Structure 1
Amino acid sequence: MADTLRDIPEFFETELGESIIARTDALGSFRELGPPDLCHIIKVNAKPGVKEIGSYHYISGVDASSSASLAVYLNSLTYSMDDSQSWFTKSNAWRIRSVDVRVEVKIPGGVESYYVDVRGERHEATADIWQETYLSAVLRAILYSDDNYYRLAGYRKVDPILNLQSEKRFLEAVESLFWKGWQLGSKPEIQVATSVHNHLTDGIMKYFGDSFRFGPAIELFKKLHVKDPEVGALLAKAYIGQNEEIKAVNVLYSDLRLASMGYPLIHVQVDFLRTKVAKTKKKYGVGEFNMALKLAKYAVDTTPSEYLTWAKLTEVYIDLNDYKSALLTLNSCPMFTYNERDMHRMPPSLKTHLPIKPDIISSGIMEEDAGRESEADSQISRLSAPSLHGTFAKAYSLLTRLANALGWDELLRCRSQVFVMEEEYRMHKAQADHRKSMSTEELGQKLKNAALTEPKLPEASVEKPTQAADDEQQEKEVSFSFGNKRLCERWLDNLFMVLYEDLRVYTFWRTEAAHYRAQKIAYRKTGTEWELLGDLGLRLWHESEAKEAFELCLDHKFSAKAWMKLLEIYAKEGNTQKALLAAVKLTVYHERWYHEIVYPTEIACNLNSLIRRVGLAKMQNILTSMNLPKPVQKLMTRYFDYGELFQVEGYES
């Protein structure tokens, strides 16, 4: 079409400029990093009387350090017009916390830049505003590179850091703005963002961690460490990532003497101990976890209002096989309401243009979903666990760890031993009301007989858990006692029901599959059902079963999720051939959907881990032996070019 951009996604407006108006109206609702950047285009035809056309797309990774650098991207779009006779003006919106930096390029004409506040008023874009704009744009590109929440149609991703010089500029901006980083907010499981826990530090650790090259991060943190000992938590993590553990221990030792109340420092030490003890567990025994336990308890004492401290203590109790304490600690976790991410809320588009590059179409590698293979049984597709977010998703992961360690029956027994069960509470209260004179000994015996029991379950049956009593059911004036038992929080009670549903479907799947195998009958599921079962297997810590399900999914349909999960599994196993095949499939899929970013991505991270293991030369040779079409080979070579340019571990071998 003459009014579309070649190889660039577009949403066409019904009313000219409506996307910019919608973004301006939404500025006040943006709380943290903001949504992906918005590029708005106005096209004007040279023929008189032809109406102007407005379109837009989302973009991240473009250099936003100045109006000139943004103009470069905007001008590049002129070469993507299918009709070379058209000319147009372009405007771009770049989000930075409470203001919106915008650049307008008029062709022919000039460049105008300004920022818009939450009231929609224009202001001059100062040097400080530009620096914040640049850094926040890079962080969005890094943190949203694999973020499933921002799977937007028409979202183009390009590399935010192209070479060592641009990496140096990124580090300089980080150093300049580091102490403002808390203003960007943090992960949803963190209640209060700090100078150590925020989106800025997450971006730094992801960028350098995914390539396992912590050297530049260490130099950065060493400078910042002088001002605040809590930065020692980041420095120690970087040292550990760089295999310089003695330096990490020295940093933790000196900084904990200066900031003993800082839970980030304590947690780094806890994780370090857990890792070291886990490696030597057979030699030294479980008791060596006790030091980590003392530290985790101290972190809870210093910061009892944060989910992270209680969750870490829960993990240590699980390490120690103290499952009752783990369950009680999990029940004490402060839970936070999950706030939805900042998103664009645009009016319905007049039409959508999502072109596919000719090289991708002709590669023979791109696959599309097959009709019926996208269907799924409602019992599998309606499981509640995938809809959990924030602290509830993290807590559910801990609960599934407990279930995996104990087994369902034993977990329910453990639950009834530490929590007051609903039926038990009712019977206990009734006895207290009607038999005030009952002796303590007799009451204890009655309670023991009436306690909730969970019988062992045959084959595919999973017993549904009885509800526990919560604090709304307990009356303050009740005088009798349940000893050491606690009231189960309602959210944890609900997570038990979510776990029950997951286990019920999983148990039925494994039992049914075994039955079909015994009968030598093909066990059939749709591609989507296998994908969902693979997810289920991973949630419940059954990786081999999950791997099997994801591979069966790919026998029926293309699934980016299945390929990504298998890439992680193959990379962990050291299966370079299969990992590279997965990376090829995913790269072509991402290129089709305008994800042109090479690093940092999950694909690059997993390939980097293999480069560390077998060396870059071997990876390149395996890729060559795959005889891929030239355009696909070129796409894949970018990962190895990055490894050479930035000298990731293994690049010389």
Structure 2
Amino acid sequence: MVVHNDCLQDVPDIFETEIGESLATRTDGLGMIRELGPPDLCHIVKTHSSNKNEPEIGSYHHVLGADTSSSASLAAYINSLQYSLSDTPGWFGTSNSWKISSGTYCSYNAFSNVDLRVQIKIPGGVDAYIVTVQGERKEVSEDLWRECHVSSFLRAILHSDPQAYSATGLRRVTPVRSPDEEARLADTLLRQFSAGWALGSNAETQAISTACNHLTDGLRRYFGGAGRFADYAADLLAPLTYASDKGVDPEIAALLADAYIHCDEEVQAVRVMHQALKAKPSCAPLLLVQAEFLRRKHQPVQALALARMAVKYAPSEFHAWAKLAHIYTGSGDFHRALLTLNACPMYTYVGRDLPRVPAPRRINYPLKSDILADYSLGEPYGAAGGNNAMRASVDSDAPGRVEEMAQNETSDILRLSAPTLNGTFAAAYRLLADIFGEVGWDELLMLRSQVFVMEEEYRNSAVPGAAVDDEEEGEGEGQGEGQGEGQGEGQGEGVDEDQCQNRDEDEVPLATLHQRAEIEGRTETSAKVGAEKTPATAPDAGPEPEAPAAAEHAISAAAAAAAEPEAPAAAGHGIPAVAEPETAAASAEQTQQPAQPKGKKKNKKNKGKKAQSPVEEEKGQQQQPEDETKQPEEPAVRAADSAIATLGDKMDDVSLSDNEAPADSVAAASIGPEAEAQPEAQPTVAATQEPDTTAQVAAPRIAVLEPTDAPAPASSSTSNAQALTTDSPRPGIPQVRKRLCERWLDNLIMMLFEDLRAYTSWRSRLHNLRTTGQQVTYIFTQAEWESLGELSLRLHRPSDAKEAFEYALAIRFSAKAWMRLLEIYTGKFAEMQKKEVARYGVPVPMSVNSSEALLLALDAVVWLSVYNDRWYNNMVYPNPVCEHVVSLVRIHGLSKVRNSLVSMNLKPAVYNLVKGYFEFAEKFNVTGAQW
């Protein structure tokens, strides 16, 4: 029997049912690509060298990091696969029965939205062409080659983490192998930088610009992962910042200043920010860089002032609001931090492009037995582990794989919702977890009740009035498009009173009622499909119930009354101002207002006519003079306001001379732009819309406040401009404007509660087992231990996370657990560990400068390097493992790290895998490579 081995030795092979079907599927899917595109596709055709009756075989695999700058480099890549074909044993040695007769390499050009393809025939010629979205074939120009090279480079950089991005049959290779290649690539990037806006941006950015897109994200990822911010600033950003004839480009100057700050060139950073602010004082990215710089310098008042200005100039950007909330949290103003988080604009998450492939006939994943002899990674995709796994397999307490899988299917730990968050929702959850880490759960609940309208307050403030049927609302939907969007998104919705009678009225926010009320209503229209990011109000995109008509009338009346001009004291702050308490007389008059009977429908003849509610009738009587209604703000807020007013005066007095500039002048230069008179607060879109109040609503204890002075973001709904508060404030509690809790924020609070409940149950069970001396390792499966480790990190408990990941490795190999432990050993969570020691009194963790931490980190590096080599990840850099090796080099020096690795007595093949990281550090001269 003749044995024909048609598989590659060290490259994955996906075999086609029909030759060329993968190319046809890729062509059909070009119109569905949204941003950077899928990985490159390498398709080859194999023929039998001796048996002519043997049919040809088509196979393919995906590639990240290959050089796509010319057709010659792609032809060389396909030709190298010829030497990877497995050998067939014979009488006189080995021979290859299968040969590669032709191949096609496909690389997506994200700038021009075309697929560049190079077809190679062996022996024969090379044919390069492009395929458009319509399937047309055209010639390739030099500009298209340059765009394709940059697109392939960015895909390799931004998709370098195997745990964040994976595809079937994916092979990773190093995109830049030497400083000379990097210099040539830098020239290409400089020529292509101005067109980076065409690539799109990350999930947390709304407005795509020249300095905020996937290109700039990839460059910062490439240089920042190795700590080479000095090279990033000198080779790329500095030429781009001062290339314009008009002077400094403010947005690129923000990137340059941030790079200078990270490479400890703070004086240069201050100079760049000073020059850029003179060119454009309203540049929001530059203000955010300054705010972060001052926050790190422990100047919260100036940082707060700049963050407010950034929100003012970029109200639709999530980064600006998130930075403001982060600074509020750091300064201890948790009320405004929660309100600012509630006002953050949220965007629908658009996932990364994955390859569309047909159903394969078979897939081959070849093994490398010489390396894996002492490192058993178990079943495919790292399902089993090494020496620990062999020991656990004979342990009587170890459950079988069938029992383990059955336990995972019914596990509550693996069904937590927080790990599924993406984009702005994941970032908002981290901000909420920061607040929780500072104040605790009980205080967080108290803060929520102080800043958001609760159920009893809403029921006592707005009695449901007459209902409006869907047909009549549909006829008048053209009256206020902005109002309909805001209320349809779940922020201005009401609640049926009968469904809330048996609830705990003091601890339920209004948004929770919106979620649980069983009300039949219209569903929202489907979201548009495409690359464009759309505002979202909840992590899940699904139909939401329409608000009851009576609640819409109540909130519309409040919004109409809120359209009055705000007090000048609160103007220009960019955050919710301090609430104005009601007078006793106004409260008594409101209480005497009779409630309107339910079920009363409006007359179609009076459709569109504005009905005046009791709140509107008494609005003029309840308004008080400005000097009587203004509430004193906190000292930090007053100081921030004064800082904003004096920014411009300090700007002109700054001297940038090294001999004359005092310390306070440098600080003043880093503060911000020229001061402008803060404009009066403008009502938001929801407040300016004329409400469709067709039935009077009795609001016995409602206080209508003016809209916030911060500009309403494009994706934020009308509730940010509607302020509600009760007439009986609690003594000793600062009064802030109450808001309607956004639906997505209430979802995040519930996710945080589920995480905290799972964490508390786990720690209690672990304590009981240890007290009684029982086995701990196998009370949870490996997947559950990994989930508990991630849960601990979300709740800012890195010591418990380290323990959970170690238990996961005691059961079986886990790439995720090794990576998290490597991050802990290299000091990624050092700040979190310091806070944990201060808050909870846990033992002080080992220092990252210790030799013990170095050896543990190198052990994790070895295991992850073997795992990456097993799954065809030959990319030296950018690679998360290499980034942590560079961190070790910066801490300990290259000589000590290399000698420590030699002392581990590794096999030569395994040592060569890790040695590639040291060679990268030497070639590119990272910090610590000289000692």
Question: Is the aligned partner of 1:369 residue 2:402?
Answer: no
User: Do 1:318 and 1:326's aligned partners in 2 also have CA atoms closer than 8 Å?
Assistant: yes
Instruction: Show the counterpart of 2:325.
Output: 314
Q: Secondary structure at the match of 2:115?
A: strand
Does residue 2 in structure 1 map to residue 5 in structure 2?
A: yes
Distance 1:612 1:159, change over 3 A: same
- Alpha carbons 2:449, 2:509 under 8 Å: kept: no
TM-aligned CA deviation for residue 520 of structure 1: 2.6
Aligned to 1:385: 418
AA matched with 1:560: A
Residue matched to 2:347: 336
Separation in 1 of the partners of 2:86 and 2:158? 33
Higher relative helix content: 1
Residues 40 and 92, structure 1, Cα contact 8 Å, conserved in 2: yes
Which deviations, in whole Å up to 9, do the C-alpha atoms of 1:384-433 show, x marking residues without a partner?
11111111111111111111111111111111111112343124324999
Partner of 1:426: 459
3-state SS in 1 of match to 2:349? coil
- Counterpart in the other structure of 2:393: none
The aligned residue for residue 685 of structure 2 is none
Question: Which AA in structure 1 matches 2:372?
Answer: I
AA in 1 matched with 2:199? L
The corresponding residue for 1:409 is: 442
Matched letter for residue 188 of structure 1: A
- Offset of residue 500 of structure 1: 1.3
Q: Out of 223, 233, 236, which is 2:254 matched to? A: 233
Answer yes or no: is the 8 Å Cα contact 2:250–2:283 preserved in 1: no
Residues 86-165 of structure 1 mapped to structure 2, 5 A cutoff? 86-87=98-99, 88-97=101-110, 98-146=113-161, 148-165=163-180
> Residue 611 of structure 1 aligns with which residue?
889
Counterpart position of 2:54:
50
State how far apart, in whole Å, the 1-side matches of 2:37 and 2:98 are. 33
Give how far 1:254 is off.
Answer: 1.2
| Contact kept in structure 2, 1:93 and 1:100, CA below 8 Å | yes
Q: Which moved more, 1:639-648 or 1:82-91?
A: 82-91
Q: Aligned with 1:269: secondary structure?
A: helix
One-letter identity of the residue aligned with 1:221: L
Residue 344 of structure 1 and its aligned partner are, at CA, apart by 1.1
2:29 aligned to 5, 20, 26, which one? 26
CA contact (8 A) 1:363 1:632 kept: no
For 1:365 and 1:630, how far apart are their aligned partners in 2? 17
Alpha-carbon contact 1:360-1:366 (below 8 Å) kept: no
Query: SS of the counterpart of 1:538?
Result: helix
Query: Of 566, 575, 584, which aligns to 2:862?
Result: 584
Paired residues, what number? 618
Distance of 2:821 and 2:127 partners within structure 1? 47
CA contact (8 A) 1:420 1:469 kept: no
Q: Distance in 2 between matches of 1:260 and 1:13?
A: 58
Deviation per residue, 1:585-604 (Å, 9 max, x gap): 10100110000111111111
In structure 2, do the counterparts of structure 1 residues 403 and 472 end up closer, same or farther at CA, with 3 Å as the change threshold? Answer: farther
Amino acid at match of 2:411: S
Distance in 2, Cα, partners of 1:231 & 1:466: 43
1:77 corresponding residue in structure 2 = 81
**In 1, are the aligned partners of 2:5 and 2:97 still within 8 Å (CA)?**
no
Correspondence for 1:539: 794
- Identify which of 530, 536, 539 aligns with 2:785: 530
In the alignment, does 2:16 pair up with 1:13? Answer: yes
Report the Cα offset of residue 451 of structure 1.
9.1
Q: Where do residues 157-196 of structure 1 align in structure 2 (5 Å cutoff)?
A: 157-196=172-211
Partner of 1:548, secondary structure, is helix
For 1:270, the equivalent position in structure 2 comes to: 291
Shift of 1:147: 5.4
Match for residue 874 of structure 2?
A: 596
Match of residue 752 from structure 2: 499
Shift, 1:645, TM fit? 1.0
- SS of the residue aligned with 1:148? coil
Asked if 2 retains the 8 angstrom alpha-carbon contact of 1:236 and 1:251, the reply is yes
Please, which moves more after superposition, 353-362 or 423-432?
423-432
Instruction: Determine which of 512, 517, 521 is the counterpart of 2:765.
Output: 512
Paired amino acid for 2:213: N
Match of 1:562 in 2: 817
Code of the residue aligned with 1:338 in structure 2: it is Y
Corresponding residue of 1:457: none
Q: Equivalents in 2 of 1:517, 1:222: separation in Å?
A: 58
Judge which range, 127-136 or 83-92, deviates more: 83-92
The separation in 2 between residues aligned to 1:451 and 1:550, in whole angstroms, is: 39
Q: Does 1:644 align with 2:656?
A: no
Q: Deviations over 1:224-260 (max 9, x none)?
A: 0012222111111111122111101111111112122
Structure-2 residue corresponding to 1:436: none
Counterpart secondary structure, 2:913: helix
**Offset of 1:315 from its aligned partner?**
0.4
Q: Is there any run of 5+ residues in structure 1 with no aligned partner, and where? A: 278-287, 434-449, 455-463
Distance 1:544 1:601 in 2: 26
What residue is the counterpart of 1:301 in the other structure? 312
CA distance in structure 2 between the aligned counterparts of 1:424 and 1:148, rounded to whole angstroms:
46
Same amino acid, percent of matched pairs: 47
Do the aligned residues in 2 keep the contact of 1:420 with 1:468 (CA within 8 Å)?
Answer: no
CA distance 1:363–1:147, shift in 2 (3 Å): closer
Corresponding residue for 2:624? none
Deviation digits for residues 48-85 of structure 1 (CA, Å, limit 9, x no counterpart): 23222111111011110000011110100011112523
SS at match of 1:150: coil
Distance change >3 Å, CA 153–CA 363, structure 1 → 2:
farther
**TM-score (normalised: structure 1):** 0.91
Q: Report the more deviating stretch, 75-84 or 245-254.
A: 75-84
* Aligned counterparts of 1:625 and 1:373: Cα–Cα separation in 2: 37
Displacement of 1:614 after TM fit? 0.9
Distance 2:416 2:464 in 1: 39
Q: Cα–Cα, structure 1 residues 53 and 422, in superposed 2: closer, same or farther, change >3 Å?
A: farther
Q: Is the 8 A contact 1:365 1:585 kept in 2?
A: no
Cα displacement (A) at 1:373: 5.2
Give 2:69's aligned residue: 65
2:212 matched residue in structure 1: 197
Write the distance in 2 (CA, Å) between the matches of 1:159 and 1:396: 34
Q: Which residue of 1 aligns with 2:906?
A: 628
Contact 2:782-2:811 within 8 A present in 1 as well: yes
Q: Residues 363 and 631 of structure 1 are in contact (CA less than 8 Å); yes or no, is this contact kept in structure 2?
A: no
Secondary structure at the aligned position of 1:113 is classed as: strand
- 1-side partners of 2:504 and 2:11: how far apart? 65
Q: CA deviation at 1:532?
A: 0.7
Q: Structure 2 counterpart of 1:326, which letter?
A: A
User: Among 263, 268, 285, which residue is 1:242 paired with?
Assistant: 263
Matched, 1:254 2:275: yes
2-structure distance, mates of 1:24, 1:387: 31
Q: Secondary structure at the match of 1:355?
A: coil
Deviation at residue 150 of structure 1 after TM alignment: 2.0
Whether the 8 Å CA contact 1:563–1:586 is kept in 2: the answer is yes
Q: Cα offset for 1:24?
A: 0.6
User: Secondary structure, in 3 states, of the residue corresponding to 2:212?
Assistant: coil
How many angstroms apart in 1 are the aligned matches of 2:121 and 2:421? 46
> Helix, strand or coil for the counterpart of 2:202?
coil
Aligned partner letter, 1:194: S
Gap regions ≥5 residues in structure 2: 88-95, 385-400, 467-502, 515-545, 559-614, 616-701, 704-723, 726-736, 828-846
Deviates more, 1:152-161 or 1:361-370: 361-370
